Amino acid sequence: MTNMKSTLTETLQAVATDEDVHVERLLAGARRTGVRYRRRHRMVVLGCTVLSCAMIAGGLAVVRPLWAGRPTTVSVAPANSPAPSATVPSSPAPSAMTAMPSLPLAPAASPALTAPDEVGRNPLLLHVWLATLPFPATNVQALNIGGQESLSIEGPGAADGSAPTFVVQAGRRAADLDPLSGTRHDVTVNGRAAVAAVNSRAVRPFVTVRWQPVTGLWAQVSGAMNQATAVAIAAEVRLDQVRRCAVPFRLPDAPANARISSCNITFADGQVLATVGVQVSGWTVGVGVMPGGVRNANEVLGGRPARVVEHSGDGGGRIMEIRVDRGDHFVDLTAEGAYNAAVVRSLAGGVVLSGGSDPADWPVSPLS
């Protein structure tokens, strides 16, 4: 996982020339989750694009909001100059959230406490949330994929590079959650029986607390913390409301049989990173929007210059990557499996941005 994070960061820095977009910070949580779910769903793709590589697991595509980019200017000293005349400005420290971010509610949807069987069924709905944050968070990520819903919380980094991090998961079956590991202890969460698994083999103890908030629903909290902290965080898990997981674009050219297979929203450094995966028959396509231009265009899609590349993934399957120039940004697609190249091209040329910086203004579904 460490190697993957390093590789992605280096790639992002190499591609995002002339723009200090801070994608590496916004994708920190997405990278970790992508690695875990890639293993679970066996969808390994090493030759992916900058954005889709982080989220290709489960068909996630990264949507980088256009309002988040910030330009960077760099002055280079002439040869033989005794000293540089300017330095590269350092990135500002990520701002910390002291409360859970706001997402639009879905009042017509039934909450998990009364309809546990609905958890994980609709990728555009989020049933699990936290009442409070146990520490200021620089990254809050909500994810719905493969029958599981989860929250990943990350705090500010320490001097040694570590950061407090934990994950909340909810699913209809215990098998939907990450496995328990370590010595088990009986505990209670809000008066309900629970088990705490403590793995002491790591530098810091890793604790997982699992319980059933209601019959037919499993939940757990896991992270590098002590048992008391894990139980306290578990007590803050809320399942009494449903929130929307939305993205700021539409796909008017999607086939009639297309369906949303996953959704992710990440809040970091005052920005919102929304992600979605679309499944068409037996193949998956990730769609995203990112600041920047397109180099070496070799086709025209939707009347705009585009770069289209097809290659083999590490498992031998074909992968199609498309970037479509939209002026100050580009549409980014990655398809894998037995995809229809003509359909992928049509999707790439027809992406329509919709909504502003507030998720409440985003479409209920990119397929609507």
Q: At which of 244, 269, 292 does a domain end?
A: 244
Question: Mean of the pLDDT values across residues 292-312?
Answer: 95
Same domain, 123 and 218: yes
* Nearest CA-CA partner of 164 in 223, 207, 206, 229: 223
Same domain, 208 and 220: yes
Between the CA of residue 350 and those of 109, 129, 150, 236, 296, what are the distances in Å? 30, 34, 31, 42, 21
Q: What CATH number should be reported for the domain holding residue 134?
A: 2.60.120
What integer pLDDT is reported at residue 31 of this predicted model? Answer: 36
Q: Is 107 within a domain?
A: no
78, 334 in Cβ contact below 8 A? no
Same domain, 195 and 300: no
Total domains, the chain = 2
Residue 199 has pLDDT above 50, yes or no: yes
Question: Mean of the pLDDT values across residues 332-341?
Answer: 92
Same domain, 120 and 240: yes
What integer pLDDT is reported at residue 35 of this predicted model? Answer: 33
Same domain, 147 and 233: yes
What integer pLDDT is reported at residue 326 of this predicted model? Answer: 87
Same domain, 206 and 222: yes
Give 255: exposed, middle or buried? Use CB within 10 Å, 0-12, 13-18, 19+.
middle
Q: Is 309 within a domain?
A: yes
Residues facing residue 221 across a β-bridge? 168, 209
Residues facing residue 210 across a β-bridge? 195, 220
Same domain, 130 and 43: no
Question: Mean of the pLDDT values across residues 202-216?
Answer: 92
Place of tokens 């319980």: 211
Q: Is 90 within a domain?
A: no
Q: Is 102 within a domain?
A: no
* Minimum mean pLDDT range among 94-98, 128-132, 168-172, 281-285: 94-98
359 against 62, higher pLDDT: 359
What integer pLDDT is reported at residue 314 of this predicted model? Answer: 79
* Nearest CA-CA partner of 133 in 103, 158, 111, 164: 164
Same domain, 124 and 237: yes
Q: Is 95 within a domain?
A: no
Residue 221 has pLDDT above 70, yes or no: yes
Q: Is 82 within a domain?
A: no
170, 127 in Cβ contact below 8 A? yes
Distance CA 320, CA 311 (A): 7
Q: At which of 183, 210, 244 does a domain end?
A: 244
Q: Is 176 within a domain?
A: yes
Question: Mean of the pLDDT values across residues 113-126?
Answer: 97
Q: Is 93 within a domain?
A: no
Quote the pTM value: 0.75
Domain that holds residue 142: 116-244
